Amino acid sequence: MSFKNTFIRKVVSVSLCAVIGFTGITLGHAPTASAATTKADKIITLGKKYLGVKYRFGAPSGSTSAFDCSSFTQYIFGKYGVKLPRVSSSQATKGVKVAKANLKKGDLVFFKVKRTGKKIGHVGVYVGNNKMLHTYRATGVTYSSMNTNYWKSNYITARRVL
């Protein structure tokens, strides 16, 4: 075997080992940050399948023919192993509090509504770009901008449960 062939084989072997090694390092670090993101994306994708499903206050847990805000979040999160209580005010006690400026996809966002006064009465799922996926009286399951005057003035808190 010539010096040239030996040199090329060594270069190829070292290169392959480096590629395999770097791939292993990258894969080894992937689950920490992306696992929550992946679960959030799956939850949001499931929620999208119900766009337009009608709103019904007090809709029963597990029903997909109609939702209220908290039965919707309970259902879509539950399908991915995240157990949430049935009502929005109880859901607001789960996970960890998140500042509005630090919202991530999959965070629960909570609001007051006329019927609850200053207390939590509505929940949605933050989907990014100041938008939430939720269900509401007039529209059923829908997307809404949290930048509208209504949602801005009624925002209370957010929780990260993923």
Instruction: Encode burial over 23-58: b for 16+ CB neighbours within 10 A, e otherwise.
Output: eeeeeeeeeeeeebeebbeebbeebeebeebebbee
pLDDT, mean of each 10-residue run, the chain (162 residues)? 54 48 46 68 98 96 96 98 97 98 98 93 97 94 97 97 96
Relative orientation angle of helices 69-78 and 3-48, to the nearest 10 degrees: 150
All structural domains of the chain with their residue ranges: 38-160
Q: Is 17 a catalytic residue?
A: no
Known catalytic residue: 29?
Answer: no
Written out in words, the top-level CATH class of the domain with range 38-160 is alpha beta
Residue 122 designated active-site: yes
Instruction: Output the pTM of the full model.
Output: 0.78
pLDDT of residue 37: 63
The predicted structure's pLDDT at residue 13: 54
Q: Residues 43, 59, 66, 69: which is the catalytic one?
A: 69
Catalytic residue, from 74, 122, 154, 159: name it: 122
Q: Which one is catalytic: 75, 126, 133, 134? A: 134
